[in-house]
Amino acid sequence: MKNTIICILHQPHSRVRRIGNQIKKLGLNYRIIRPCSGEKLPDNFNNYRGVIVFGGPMSVYENNKYKFLKVELDWIKRVIDNNVPLFGICLGAQLIAKSIGGDVFPHTKKIHEVGYYPVFPENGYVNFFGKKENFYAYQWHKDTFSIPPGATLIASGNKFKNQAFIYNENTLAIQFHPELTINVMKKWTKFAINRNIRGVQAVNELESIAVKHESSVRNWLKLQLKNLFIKK
Q: What is the pLDDT of residues 59-107, one digit of tens each?
A: 999 989 999 999 999 999 999 999 999 999 999 999 999 999 999 999 9
Is domain 4-229 in CATH 3.40.50.880, yes or no?
A: yes
Catalytic residue list contains 177:
yes
Catalytic residue list contains 112:
no
Active site residue: 7, 36, 72, 90, which one?
90
Catalytic residue list contains 179:
yes
Share the mean pLDDT of the chain: 95
Contacts of 114 (CB under 8 A, 6+ apart): 139, 140, 188, 189, 192, 197, 199, 200, 201
Active site residue: 10, 112, 141, 177, which one?
177
Q: For residue 57, what is the DSSP state?
A: S
Active site residue: 72, 113, 179, 214, which one?
179
Number of neighbours of residue 118 by Cβ within 10 angstroms: 17
Q: Which pLDDT band, with edges at 50, 70 and 90, does 2 fall under?
A: confident
Q: Identify whether the C-beta of residue 138 lies closer than 8 Å to the C-beta of residue 54.
A: no
Q: Tell me the whole-structure pTM to 2 decimals.
A: 0.96
Q: Which pLDDT band, with edges at 50, 70 and 90, does 169 fall under?
A: confident
Instruction: Please report the pLDDT score of residue 1 as a whole number.
Output: 54
- Rounded Cα–Cα distance for residues 109 and 107 (Å): 5
Query: 105-163, pLDDT tens digit by residue?
Result: 999 889 999 999 999 999 999 999 998 899 999 999 999 999 999 999 999 999 999 99
Burial of 195 (0-12, 13-18, 19+ CB in 10 A): exposed
Q: List the domain boundaries for the chain.
A: 4-229
